[in-house]
C-alpha cells in the first residue's frame, strides 16, 4: 500500500515528528514522568485522541500493522476513523486482531490478550496529571512530582475509605511507576491496572490538549496505590459474557429492550470473537 501523496508520511511534518520523538525518548528514560511537547492541531477535536494520534504518527513506519480500539471495541467511530486516517496518510496495514498488531492505539482499555515484546501500546489520555483534581496549579503539581510528595493522593484514597468503606475509584486508578512517579493510567478501568505491571510491550501515553507525553518501558513495576488493610482489588461485573461465556474479562452492560432487560458482553471485541470462534470449533 502507498500513502496519499498529498500528505507527508503519517500526516505530521518531519520537524514535528522529530520534536515528539525526542519527547518520547526522554519519557521512556524517565518512566512515569510527564514530558511537555508542542502538541499540534490535528484534524479531529480534542478528546478524540489528538495526543495518541500524534504519538502513533511519530512512531509508525511503513511495515507496522496498526490496531485502534475505543473502549475495547474495534468498530466504534473513533477507532474506525483513526485506522482510516493512517491507512490514507501512511499507507499502513491495519488489523482488528490484537495478536497481529505491532502498534495498538487505545482509548480507555488494555486488550485482554497478553501483549508481547514486538508491540507498542499507545494510550489516548485526556488528563495526564494524576493530581489534577486535588491540586489545580500546574506549577505546584510539578513541584510535588519533583519531590515525589504524593500524600495528597493517599489522603484522597483514605477519604474514599472513610466515606464509602472502600476505595471508590473504578477508573483512572492512580499507579506508582518504578516506585518513583505517580502516574495516571488514563481512564482505563482499574480492572486493567494489573496488566500494566511488567508488561513485555512498551506503553506510550499522549495527551494532546494538555500537551504531555509519558511512558512505561517494558518490564517496569507499576503498582496501584492502596493500603495494607485495604489492598487494591480490580473490579469487574460479577457476570459471564453473554456471547462467549467468559468469566474473567472486563464486561460492558448493554440494555437490550425498554423493559429493563440487560446483558453483559466482553468490552474487548476481538478477544470475545476469538473465544466465540474457539467455542464453535469445539462444538
Partner 1 sequence: MSAGTALAGFADPVLDSQAAFRAVLEAMSRPGRIQRLPVPPELPPGIGPAAAAVLLALADADTPIRLAAGAEAQAWIRFHTGARAAPAAEAAFVLDSDAGLLDLDPGTEEEPERGATLILEVESLSEGSGWRLSGPGIQATHRLAVAGVRDGFLADWAASRARFPRGVDVILCAGDRIAALPRGIAIEEG
For position 22 contacting partner 1 by CB under 8 A, the verdict is yes
8 touches partner 1 (CB under 8 A): yes
Cell numbers for 256: 437490550
Residues numbered 132 to 151 that lie near partner 1 (CB under 8 A) are 142-143, 145-147
Question: What is the C-alpha to C-alpha distance for residues 217 and 183, in angstroms, rounded to an integer?
Answer: 13
Phi, psi of 150 (to 5 degrees): -115, 25
Please pick, among 6, 32, 49, 91, the residue that the annotation labels catalytic.
Answer: 32
CA-CA distances (angstroms) from residue 1 to 57, 74, 75, 127, 275? 17, 21, 22, 35, 31
Q: How far is the CB of 221 from partner 1 (least distance, A)?
A: 8
Say which residues have a Cβ less than 8 Å from residue 264's Cβ, sequence separation at least 6: 237, 239, 240, 241, 242, 251, 252, 253, 254
**What percent of the chain is helix, strand and coil (3-state, nearest 5)?**
30, 20, 50
User: Is residue 35 helix, strand or coil?
Assistant: strand
Determine if 1 is a binding residue for partner 1 (CB under 8 A): no
Smallest distance, partner 1 to C-beta of residue 3, A: 10
Please state, in angstroms and rounded to a whole number, the distance separating the CA atoms of residues 178 and 276. Answer: 37
- Decide: 215 and 28 in contact? Cβ < 8 Å: yes
Among 2, 5, 14, 238, binds partner 1 (CB under 8 A): 14
- Dihedral sign (CA 41, 45, 46, 47): negative
17 near partner 1, rule: CB under 8 A: yes
Q: How far is the CB of 28 from partner 1 (least distance, A)?
A: 5
Tell me if 33 contacts partner 1 by CB under 8 A. Answer: yes
CB of 113 to partner 1, least distance (A): 19
Cβ proximity of 254 and 262 under 8 Å: yes
Grid cell of 131 as nine digits? 493530581
Closer residue to partner 1 (CB): 38 or 47: 38
> Applying CB under 8 A, which part among 174-182, 184-192, 233-241, 263-271 lies near partner 1?
174-182
Residue 47 is among the residues annotated as catalytic for this protein: no
Binding mask 67-106 for partner 1 (x = CB under 8 A): ----------------------------------------
Give the number of residues in contact with partner 1, rule: CB under 8 A.
Answer: 43
Which set of grid coordinates corresponds to residue 53? 494520534
Active site residue 266: yes
Task: Cite the active site residues.
Answer: 32, 241, 244, 266, 272
**Residue numbers at the binding site for partner 1 (CB under 8 A):** 8-9, 14-15, 17-19, 21-31, 33, 35-36, 58-62, 117, 142-143, 145-147, 178, 180-181, 198, 202, 216-221
Amino acid at each position: 500500500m502507498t500513502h496519499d501523496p498529498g500528505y507527508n508520511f503519517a500526516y505530521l511534518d518531519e520537524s514535528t515528528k522529530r520534536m515528539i520523538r525526542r519527547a518520547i525518548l526522554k519519557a521512556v528514560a524517565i518512566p512515569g514522568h510527564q514530558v511537555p511537547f508542542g502538541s499540534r492541531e490535528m484534524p479531529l477535536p480534542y478528546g478524540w485522541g489528538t495526543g495518541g494520534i500524534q504519538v502513533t504518527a511519530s512512531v509508525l513506519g511503513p511495515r507496522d500493522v496498526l490496531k485502534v480500539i475505543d473502549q475495547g471495541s474495534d468498530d466504534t467511530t473513533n477507532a474506525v476513523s483513526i485506522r482510516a486516517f493512517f491507512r490514507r496518510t501512511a499507507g499502513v496495514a491495519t488489523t482488528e486482531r490484537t495478536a497481529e498488531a505491532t502498534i495498538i492505539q487505545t482509548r480507555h482499555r488494555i486488550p485482554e490478550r497478553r501483549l508481547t515484546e514486538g508491540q507498542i501500546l499507545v494510550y489516548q489520555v485526556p488528563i495526564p496529571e494524576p493530581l489534577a483534581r486535588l491540586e489545580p496549579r500546574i506549577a505546584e503539581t510539578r513541584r510535588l512530582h519533583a519531590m515525589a510528595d504524593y500524600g495528597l493522593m493517599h489522603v484522597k484514597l483514605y477519604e474514599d475509605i472513610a466515606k464509602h468503606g472502600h476505595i471508590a475509584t473504578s477508573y483512572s486508578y492512580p499507579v506508582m511507576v518504578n516506585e518513583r512517579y505517580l502516574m495516571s493510567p488514563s481512564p482505563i478501568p482499574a480492572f486493567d491496572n494489573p496488566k500494566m505491571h511488567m508488561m513485555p510491550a512498551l506503553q506510550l501515553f499522549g495527551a494532546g490538549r494538555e500537551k504531555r507525553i509519558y511512558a512505561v518501558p517494558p518490564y517496569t513495576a507499576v503498582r496501584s496505590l492502596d493500603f495494607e488493610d485495604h489492598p487494591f482489588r480490580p473490579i469487574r461485573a460479577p457476570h459471564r459474557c453473554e456471547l462467549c461465556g467468559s468469566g474473567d474479562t472486563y464486561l460492558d452492560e448493554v440494555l437490550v429492550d425498554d423493559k429493563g432487560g440487560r446483558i453483559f458482553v466482553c468490552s474487548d471485541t476481538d478477544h470475545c470473537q476469538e473465544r466465540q470462534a474457539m467455542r464453535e470449533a469445539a462444538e
